[in-house]
Amino acid sequence: MSRLSPSLVAVVASRDGLTRPLMAAEALARAADTLKFTLNIEVRTRLGVQQVLSGDELRDAHGVIVAADDDVDLAPYQGKQIYKLGLDEAITGADAVLGRIAPAAPAVGVPDVAVAAVPKVLKIVAITSCPTGIAHTFMAAEGLQAAAAKLGHEIHVETQGSVGAQSPMSAQQILDADLVIIAADAQVDLGRFGGKRVFETGTKRAINNGVKLIEDAIAGAAVQGAAPPKQGLADEAAEAKKARNNFSGPYKHLMTGVSFMLPFVVAGGLLIAVAFALGGIYAFDDAHKGTLAWTLFQIGAKSAFALMIPVLSGYIAYSIADRPGITPGMVGGMLAGAIGAGFLGGIISGFLAGYITLLLNRHIRLHRNLEGLKPVLILPLFSTLIVGLLMMYVVGEPVAMVLHAMETWLKGMQAGSALALGAIIGAMMAFDMGGPVNKAAYAFSAGLIASQIYTPMAAAMVAGMTPPLGIALACWLFRNRFTAEDRDAGKAAAVLGIAFITEGAIPFAARDPLRVIPSCMLGSAVAGAISLSAGAELKVPHGGVFVLPIPNAITHLGMYLVALLAGTVVTALALWALKKPIRTAAA
């Protein structure tokens, strides 16, 4: 390569300033022009990444100039010669710096400029999160930790579970990190990772193959705030195909809304149950005004339950459009509740708010000095106006009619239809044990609580408890069908089952899916069918057996326990019939 055509690219970065990095980039560009070669420069500021280096440019470059006063993640440039300098040096001495570097590129070792070595052992930070924040969150964390240890990398995993963030990463850990992995089925705030290489995926990949996930993240992570670089038409076609085959987008947005809604349902439902326990089923009546029971009902029904639909809608919109989507989403959810569109209206208003805000954000262009007005004034104002008008004049009434018809049908179900619906909900809960089908049935059932329809939720919970309990019973009764390792795992499955953590059955399903999954679906279908046919109602969306002793949390408790026992026994018997004895196993 000739002296006047060095294979170089540059990255100019500053987390705080705007002017100095732009001045540094301009100085480097002028110096390269003076030396008669093209220097592609990526500029990173607190407003995002400009002039992103493409995959072709990075691949062809032998050297990377890093002009920054802050630490810059060097992992994307492994195998390249790296020349580090400060912003002031780039602004005032770009000609001298490039004059020293250009003749040496791509040679190794330029004495006047510091050369940074890219570490082989990567420092990784990760976040795992699932909609309910229970099993998948921690299983994904364990998968990533085991995979990083196997590959020889350092990792710190923050779990964003049902009780908030555990093992939160520090600012220093983020600053030192070479790579950020987000393994989540719900929206995660990426604001902390500006300028870092971030790779986003679901919890399933971390659970099933953490090693492959980390390898893919190292190869495919993109700088936060920048669009992933395209490397040509073939890559664009591959990305388009991937997008067509990826159904996690709308599902992830919905599950984000559901995850934020659930605490309101749990708190509200339990407070209503306690109010009824203290003051009877008419505790809400004004005749009891001022009593503790009446007050608890106001807190649970009039406050916590009243916020369910706005929160669902607001956080669906947040998942799509980030913070600017929350206001139109919540306002749309409030309107959905006011006009009787219920949780269906809340879901629709959330998606409308998110995508309308996203559209406005992409098409409204302001001077750089006025960009700060968009998230706090322009986007909330116009998106709320549009979503509100659509909900009031276009969407709200038809959705309210559909919801009312569904409520009427559910409340007036005959024995046959109740049996069928309960079996369908039950089978869906056991089909993928925490996956999209399971969560779809769960979200449908939990959403109906806002409309005071509690029977589907009861069916969903009993059906979700059945798979791990049935497997645990089979491990105990039919020991010759299971290995010693399976029988030990069965004890843990029993504990998870009574807590309504269906994922306790996943290890068994993963090892023998063709026998375990049908057995679990059959048992859960039986449990769901009995529960719904008996008219059992559950006012809270989680808790397992621990909520059953609470007065009025569940109705027809005796038949509900029958449904749980029947589903568990059917699952165990199905496993006995489908699984063959292991002749070498101890009896």
Structure tokens at 169: 């990463």
Q: Could you give the 3-state DSSP secondary structure of residue 390?
A: helix
Task: Single out the catalytic residue among 11, 130, 218, 501.
Answer: 130
Instruction: Name the strand (E) or helix (H) holding 573.
Output: helix 557-578
Neighbours of 580 (CB within 10 A): 8
Q: Report the distance separating Cα 159 and Cα 139, nearest Å.
A: 10
Asked if 186 and 130 count as a contact pair (C-beta separation under 8 A), the reply is yes
Write the CA distances from 179 to 59, 157, 197, 212, integer angstroms.
19, 12, 5, 15
User: For residue 351, which of 377, 321, 327, 381 has the smallest C-alpha distance?
Assistant: 321
Write the CA distances from 105 to 118, 236, 581, integer angstroms.
18, 31, 68
Alpha helical stretches, state H, 162-247: 171-176, 203-208, 210-220, 233-244
Alpha helical stretches, state H, 449-504: 455-477, 484-498
- 378 burial type by CB count under 10 A (0-12 exposed, 13-18 middle, 19+ buried): middle
User: For residue 551, which of 271, 291, 297, 284 has the smallest C-alpha distance?
Assistant: 271
- 372 burial type by CB count under 10 A (0-12 exposed, 13-18 middle, 19+ buried): exposed
105: left (phi over 0), alpha (psi -120 to 50) or beta: beta
Q: CA 484, 487, 493 angle in degrees (round to 5)?
A: 150
Q: Could you give the 3-state DSSP secondary structure of residue 362?
A: helix
Write the CA distances from 135 to 454, 455, 506, 540, integer angstroms.
24, 25, 10, 19
SS3 of 498-516: the string is: HCCCHHHHHHHHHHCHHHH
Q: Report the distance separating Cα 353 and Cα 253, nearest Å.
A: 12
| DSSP string across 103-135 | HHTTSS--TTSEEPPPPSS-EEEEEEE-SSSSH
- Pairing assessment for the beta strands 48-50 and 179-184 based on DSSP bridges: unpaired
Strand spans (E) along 219-353: 222-223
Respond yes or no: is residue 475 known to be catalytic: no
Q: Could you give the 3-state DSSP secondary structure of residue 98?
A: helix
- Pairing assessment for the beta strands 154-161 and 164-166 based on DSSP bridges: antiparallel
Helix, strand, coil distribution of the chain in percent, nearest 5: 65, 10, 25
Structure tokens at 312: 């669902």
Q: Could you give the 3-state DSSP secondary structure of residue 433?
A: coil
Write the CA distances from 477 to 98, 480, 524, 569, 573, integer angstroms.
76, 9, 19, 10, 9
- Pairing assessment for the beta strands 179-184 and 123-129 based on DSSP bridges: parallel
Residues annotated catalytic, as ranges: 130
